[in-house]
Structure formats: structure tokens, C-alpha cells
Amino acid sequence: MSTIELKQFILETAKNLGFSKIGISPAESDSLVNNKLISWLDNNFHATMHWMETRSTERSNIHNYYPEAKLVISLALNYFTGNVSNQKDVGKISNYAWGDDYHDLIKPRIYQLLNKIKSINPSINGIVCI
């Protein structure tokens, strides 16, 4: 299978699994993005997600986390639950909090995608990150 055919297979398979946006990019570090991450952490925008700070070197460069990485597949899944509150006198609850934990919904689909990719080319390795 050619690189172009593999890319098309990934895009179609991810779409069939319900992902609304699919991107494939080289596994490269980007200093602009890294600087934004540092600034974001310095401003404590990560709130109580302390793991983001303690694992920032992994987030700043994919090769610090997965040295063999050649490509990154980025996926988006529309998580709109249809629940909307029109009440003006109460606080708003973010849409992702209305339904099941998005990790539990997304992770199995990503593993399905990875397994389908491996089924057509067993030499491909990958890891799932959310």
C-alpha cells in the first residue's frame, strides 16, 4: 500500500468510526507551540491538572514521549450531547460534563483505528494518547 493509499485508509476509517476531524502531520517539535505551552502553564491555566506540568517535557516534544514517532494522527469527535440549559439564574455546565467521560468514549475508537491500521500493515507501531 502506498503512503497516499495509507493516508486515505486512515482518513476513511477514522471518519467511519465517527471522528469529525482528522489530521495527519509529521512528528515534529514546534518552538512556537512549546512557548505557548510554557506560558499556559506559567499562567496556571491547567488549574488542578498538575500532571500537565509534571509531564510538560512529554507534551512539548512527541519524541520525549514516543521516540519512534514519525507521524501524529489528530482526531476530533463532536461531543455535543444536545443538553442546553436556557436558565439565566444558574451557572452553566460545560457540554462535556453532561455525558459520559469522553475518555471512555474516545479511547476505544482510537484503539479500533490503530488496530485497523495494523491489520493492513503489521509493521506500523503506535500508541494512543488522549
> What per-residue string of b and e applies to 11-29 under the rule 16 or more CB within 10 Å gives b?
eebbeebebeebeeeeeee
- Residue 116: name the closest of 105, 100, 128, 103 by CA: 128
**pLDDT score, position 42:** 96
* pLDDT per residue as tens digits for the range 8-47: 999 999 999 999 999 999 999 889 989 999 999 999 999 9
Phi/psi-derived region of residue 26, left when phi > 0, alpha when psi is between -120 and 50, beta in every other case: beta
Q: Quick one: how far is CA 73 from the chain centroid?
A: 8
Bridge partners, 24 (sequence order): 73
75-98 mean pLDDT? 77
**Rg, Å, the chain Cα set:** 18
**pLDDT score, position 27:** 95
Residue with cell 509529521: 26
Q: Is the pLDDT of residue 85 over 80?
A: no
- Residue 109: name the closest of 82, 81, 128 by CA: 128
Q: Is the pLDDT of residue 52 over 70?
A: yes
**pLDDT score, position 87:** 78
49-78 mean pLDDT? 93
For the chain, give the mean pLDDT: 91
Tell me if 79 sits within 8 A of 99, measured CB to CB.
yes
Cα 27 from Cα 41, distance rounded (Å): 22
